[in-house]
Structure 1
Amino acid sequence: MGRVDGDFAGRTERRGGVWGTVGVFTLVASLAAGTLGAVQPATGIPQEVVQLTQFGPALAVGAIALWRRRLTRELLRGAGAGAGPRPLGGAVLLGAAGLIVVLCVLGYYAVRGEAPFTSPGSLRQPFALIMVAQLVGACGEEVGWRCFLQPLLRTRLGTVAASVTVGVLWGVWHVQVFAQAPAYAAGFLVATVAMSVVLGIALDGLGGWRRLLYAGGFHALVNLGLLLFLDEESGAVPPMLCFGLSCLAVAVPAVVLRGGRRGPEQAAVPEAATLHGT
């Protein structure tokens, strides 16, 4: 690999290592999200508009930047994004979000014989405000998960393995789902891992503001689709299982198609070797 990526990976190893940074990020993101969730009722901001917990990962990136400024700057610019297959176009990625919602609706209809729909006009807040706020909140999450943590882990792991790891951490970070039935929590974890894989494959090799915009747009579209077409936040198991399986149905073809496009030189992850000084 090139000297720039090698220097980047070497600095990561010398100054505390990848996994130490992952641990600090996850801890700060969790503490920040818990604090923001506790103070949201006092702010008067409706959760229907945006959940302040979504900004926990952004605050974690800020905290890491105080400790490792250069590393953070390079990750956000795309230094650790990898050199995998050419990333999918933004329209394709956003279309994948729409496909997940459509599959959710079809799956729910097949199980229940009905497809719930909440009219945008029936919401207590203007839908235009909700759309903007959802995009801002989604970017608050994705600057941490997809713009910082994914490229960081990509220096140690392959694209899919890094995406799965981020997906697990992302799912566990939503600690409130574990107060629900085990099947509900399992469906949610399948969804976060599968969506993380779709995002990881689509964004591999892409950095900067485009990475944030595509990831935030995907995330916001999924959230808006669930708000209008599903009642998974009620704690009911069937809609959450439909959500998880729909995400999986989109992720599996993405992994297969990516495997078909890989050349022999991409089978290994050179970043992992440079972290050990080779």
Structure 2
Amino acid sequence: MRGPPGIVEAMQTRQRWKTRAGVYLAVAFVAAGALGAVQPATGIPTEVVQLTQFGPALGVAVAALLWPSRTRGLLAAGAPDRTSSPWRPLLATPFLVILLSAVPYALLTGTAHATDPRTLHHPFLLVALAQLIGACGEEIGWRCFLQPLLRTRLGPLAASSATGLVWGLWHVQVLAQSPAYAAGFLLATVTMSITLGLALERLGGLHRLLLAGGFHALVNLGMLLFMNEETGAPSPMLLFGLSCALTAVPWIRRSHRRPPVTIPATAG
């Protein structure tokens, strides 16, 4: 027996939303694993770029093939506020994150964990450009597709938090580290996602992608030059997570002072 048309339509819309999210996530996870497996054969150094970062972009590509108009709508989602631009405070936030992470870590260990860019195995300009490209490969999936998709069902804080949690779990190798390390990393991804989600709430398209990618790349470069969290030591990752949480607070407070953006459920 079929239900009333309104209920049936709502159920179908909910199912479509879940299907799109599920397909995107399945491709993003599987593609990242496959790209990580083939990277050694390509000869591309992980210090320059990690091919796993393009897993989310492939997820969006598959979604675009299956649902072209809906995917275009999500990638363009936003209600641009021409009275103010968040790019200055947003791109300043990674520097604050690294400062709040690196200084306490240096004081804690008695050593400044700073790397001279000239000592890297590859030119720093090449590393920085590749990091930006790789970060955009991730952000077109997380902040430009999944987060707007979740925003059709959830508020900005909830959608950003959920995106950040999935983003963190996507880094499955982190879960093999100690519980404290994994907790610090997940705290970082959730709170960075909150910062990005709230800052970019009124932006869409290429503007959103470049700002999210720039933020992401600056964080990665800062970690490369001033932290040694890749050793698996929990203390630098915990400090990093806490600094990300602290820098998200002003963005949360700022969002409460602004009228919310309504994203139509039909976009999902």
TM-score scaled to structure 1, two decimals?
Answer: 0.87
User: Deviating runs (4+, > 4 A) in structure 1?
Assistant: 10-13, 82-88, 269-272
1:87 Cα deviation after fit: 6.8
**Is the partner of 1:17 in helix, strand or coil?**
helix
**Pairing partner for 2:153 from 150, 153, 156:** 156
Seen in structure 2, the aligned counterparts of structure 1 residues 142 and 95 have a Cα distance that, compared at 3 Å, is same
- Quote the Cα distance in structure 1 between the aligned partners of 2:147 and 2:162: 9
For 2:105, the equivalent position in structure 1 comes to: 108
Contact 2:181–2:233 under 8 Å retained in 1: yes
Q: CA deviation at 1:107?
A: 2.1
1:21 aligns with 2:15: no
Mapped to 1, the partners of 2:84 and 2:34 lie a distance apart of: 36
3-state SS of the aligned residue for 1:164?
Answer: helix
Specify the code of the residue in structure 2 equivalent to 1:248.
Answer: A
* Conserved 8 A contact 1:57-1:141: yes
Alpha-carbon offset, residue 110 of structure 1: 3.2
In the alignment, what sits opposite 1:63? 62
Match among 211, 219, 235 for residue 232 of structure 2: 235
Distance 1:27 1:15 in 2: 18
The answer on whether the counterparts of 1:37 and 1:52 sit within 8 Å (CA) in structure 2 is: yes
Partner SS for 2:103: helix
* Aligned-residue offset at 1:271: 4.6
TM-score w.r.t. length of structure 2: 0.90
Contact 1:12/1:18 (<8 A) preserved: no
Match of 1:53 in 2: 52
Cα gap change, 1:176 to 1:15, in 2 (>3 Å): same
- Partner Cα separation in structure 2 for residue 180 and residue 84 of structure 1: 42
What are the residue-to-residue correspondences of 1:132-143 with 2, within 5 Å? Answer: 132-143=129-140
The amino acid of 1:62's aligned partner reads A
Residue 92 in structure 1 maps to residue 80 in structure 2: no
Change (3 A) 1:115 1:24: same
- In structure 1, C-alpha distance between the alignment counterparts of 2:81 and 2:17, rounded to whole Å: 20
The letter for the 1-side match of 2:177 is Q
CA contact (8 A) 1:54 1:138 kept: yes
Q: Determine the C-alpha separation between the residues in 1 that align with 2:142 and 2:11.
A: 18
Deviations 1:39-67 (A, max 9, x none): 00000000000000000000000011111
Question: Which position in structure 2 is the counterpart of 1:6?
Answer: none
* Among 194, 197, 218, the residue aligned to 1:197: 194
* Identity between Structure 1 and Structure 2 (%): 55
Q: CA deviation at 1:254?
A: 1.5
How many aligned positions are there? 258
Cα distance between partner residues in 1 of 2:13 and 2:68? 14
Out of 205, 228, 253, the residue aligned to residue 256 of structure 1 is: 253
Contact 2:81 2:203 (8 Å CA) reproduced: no
The answer on 1:187 being equivalent to 2:184 is yes
Preserved CA contact (<8 Å) 1:85 1:204: no
CA contact (8 A) 1:116 1:229 kept: yes
2:232, 2:85 → 1: CA distance? 34
Deviation at 1:98, TM superposition (A): 1.0
Q: Give the gaps of 5 or more residues in structure 2.
A: 1-8
Deviates more, 1:65-74 or 1:190-199: 65-74
Residue 116 of structure 1: CA displacement?
0.3
Residue identity matched to 1:21: R
Pairwise CA RMSD: 2.2
1:129 counterpart SS class: helix
Change in Cα spacing, 1:87 to 1:59, as seen in structure 2 (3 Å) is farther
